[in-house]
Each structure stands twice: as structure tokens, then as C-alpha cells.
Amino acid sequence: MSSYGNTHTDILVAGAVAALSIDLLVYPLDTIKTRVQAPNYARLYTHPQTGAVQRSLFRGLYQGIGSVVLATVPSSGAFFTTYEATKSLLHSLNHTLSPNEFQSPLIPTPLLHATASSLAEAVSCLILTPAEVLKQNAQIIKKSPSSPSGPIFDTSATRAAWKKFQHPRQLWRGYTALLGRNLPFVALQFPVFEVIKGSLLEYKERELSKQDRVRREKEREVLRDWRREQGKGFKDEDRDRDGDGWEGREVKVGMADRAMATGMAAAISGSMAAVVTTPVDVVKTRIMLAAGEDAGAPFSGGNGEAAKTSLRAEKRKSVRVLEAEKAMRKIRSMGAWAVGRQILAEEGIGGLFRGGGLRGAWTALGSGLYLSVYESGRQYLEERRAGEDD
């Protein structure tokens, strides 16, 4: 990230606005990805005879959004505050411990960024895990087609997911799995992100400097021609008549260009890291879905006739439901490594990368917009405060 004169409040506000905006935008894709990665995906979302995808896969795409909205502000604020503080501290230590400014830093910059982002993610995941567990269990609750549609941000699925947990500590069962996915993700993404963004900004600065030199040279030619017509020479003081000089004037990349560079860097690095870490994401999804009781059990979403209709429908599908519950109970007693080996044995390498393409696509979109909004927000808040001070 760029070094602005931001306060902790700036970082918190910019991170929260970016996270909330992008969560609302890409949440439907995340819901589909969770359902595709669920162990009972084929039983719940495909036709038993033809294997065709059923419409239920695309129903209730905002189920569970409430818990994420509540956790986004503190978790994103904790991440960026910790990341910026740790990165600044490590940069200072690097400068202090390096023999001199002409030698390579003691800690390589990519390792510094990976360390800062990993520590920030560990803090953020501690806050985010309960919301993530609730969210993913709510995402796979299958509503009856006859149940009322309700508002787009209906909380009934979240309430139903909450009832699956007998004790609050179950909500943190997926912390190690979430951390196991996010640590390698951010450790891969942020060093690559910083390198790509830095290269793009340097290129843009060179282009702006080149354009500025051309423009100022044209102005210089106009002034030279005017003085020649007036019978005057071109004086040295004319080079500095505006206080900046003709050469070497510093140019600054604008907010829009910086946001574009940040978004491109985040999209490229994020999609790459997302695809690479998909196996860990699949394992995390299975563990979190198994954390609740009767995970994947259908939900009527209403009362009266709608509920009765749902119950009758579920009696006809009791075998499929029992199989889903059996799979969840089995995962509940296993560790992350054992779950991964089970997926590999039963579903092959394709099972570990299930939803990888979708995860890469929505991460490119979400991460690109997320970090560009965050970076622009920081720059805007810093410049506004600087203007008020002036």
C-alpha cells in the first residue's frame, strides 16, 4: 500500500466502506461457490436421474449476509490497521538493522509484506470466523419452492443456521481451517500485489513525467519564439519563472489512476492466489458446514401450509437427507488434514479444486474493487484533511 499520512480512523473507515461495498456485490457468487463445494452438492442441487443443475442452486443467494455485514467492519478494520502498523514497524526495523542505505535490506520486501499480511489475517480471522461459519451454514439451507420469497436480505436462513449450534464455541470451530486458507492466500497475494502495483505506478509516473516534459518544452519554444520576435534573448531566469523549473518537476499520480493500478494489481494477484489455495478453501468449507447440527437440512422459510408442504416433500427425500447428515457427522469428527485426504480419496484431485474457477473469478472482481476502493478512500481522506489543515 502507499504511505499516506493516515490516522487509524482513516484506515478503519476506508477498510469498512470497501469491505461492505464489495461484500454486497460478490456475495451471490460466494454463495454459489459454497454450495458447489458442499459434500452434499449433488444430492441437494442436482437432479437425481439426469444430474442437471436445479434452480435451487440459484435461490436465496443472499442467505447469511446479515452475519457478514455485522462482522465486516471490525474484521476489515482490524486487518488493515494491523497490516499498516506491522508493515511500518518492519520497514523501520529493516532501515535500522541494514548496514547502510546502499546495500540490500536485511529482510526482503516480499517477505516483509507476507509477514505483515499474515499477522493481520490472524487477527481478522479471530473476529470473522463466527460470522463465516454462520454464513456458510445459512447459504446451504435449502428453501422450499413454495415458501414465501421474502426480501432479498431475508434473515430467516441465518436464524435457522443459528439454531444448529448448541454452544457458542462451535462457531469458532472453523478458525484454524479459515486461517489455514487465508494465511497462504494473503502471503501469496500481498507480495505479488505490492510488486505489480508498484510497477504500474512507476510506469504511470514515467508517462506523466514524459507528458509534462513535452508540454513544458512546448511552452519553452513558444516563449523563445516570442522573445525572438521581440528582439530579446531567452534568459536563464525564464526557466524558473513559475517556481518549478523547466526540468525535473515532480508529478503525482491522480486518485483515478492510482485506483486503476491498485485494482489491476489486486485482481491479478488475488485470482492467482485464490486458484492456488482452492484445496484449502474446499476443506475449510466442509469443516464449517459440518460445525452445525443437521447441516444442509432443508428449511421451509415460512409457516402454515408452506411448512407442511415442505415437510411432505422432505419425507420423499429422506434417504438423501440422511446421507447428507451422515457425511456431515463424519466430517465433524475429523481434522483438516483428514478431511483433505478423504476428499482426495473419494473425489480425486478435481474434488479438491471444486469451485476453483468460480473462486478465482469472484476473487479477481472482489479483490480488485475492494483494494482499489480502500486505497482511494485512504488517499481521499488524507488529502481532505491536508486541505483542511492548509
Tell me the CB-side half-sphere exposure of residue 385, using CA atoms within 13 A: 11
Question: Left, alpha or beta for 51 (phi > 0: left; psi -120 to 50: alpha)?
Answer: left
**Inter-CA distances, 82 with 8, 12, 140, 184, 185, Å:** 10, 10, 33, 17, 17
User: pTM for the whole thing?
Assistant: 0.68
**If we measure between CA atoms, which residue out of 208, 181, 200 comes closest to residue 263?**
200
Reading the block at residue 61, the C-alpha cell is: 443467494
Q: How far apart are CA 201 and CA 105, in angstroms?
A: 22
Q: Is 191 exposed, middle or buried (0-12, 13-18, 19+ CB in 10 A)?
A: buried
Report which DSSP code applies to 279.
H
- What are the pLDDT tens digits along the chain (390 aa)? 544 556 666 666 777 777 777 788 888 888 999 889 888 788 888 888 888 888 888 888 888 888 888 888 788 888 888 988 898 888 888 777 766 665 666 777 888 888 888 899 899 999 989 988 888 888 888 766 555 555 556 678 888 888 888 777 888 877 888 888 888 898 888 889 989 999 999 988 888 888 888 888 887 788 777 777 776 655 554 554 444 444 455 667 778 888 899 999 999 999 999 999 999 999 988 888 887 654 444 444 444 444 455 555 555 555 555 565 666 666 767 778 888 898 999 889 999 999 999 899 989 988 898 888 888 877 777 777 666 665
- Whether 258 and 376 have beta carbons less than 8 Å apart is answered as yes
Which phi and psi angles does 68 have, rounded to 5°? -70, -40
Q: How far apart are CA 125 and CA 183, in angstroms?
A: 10
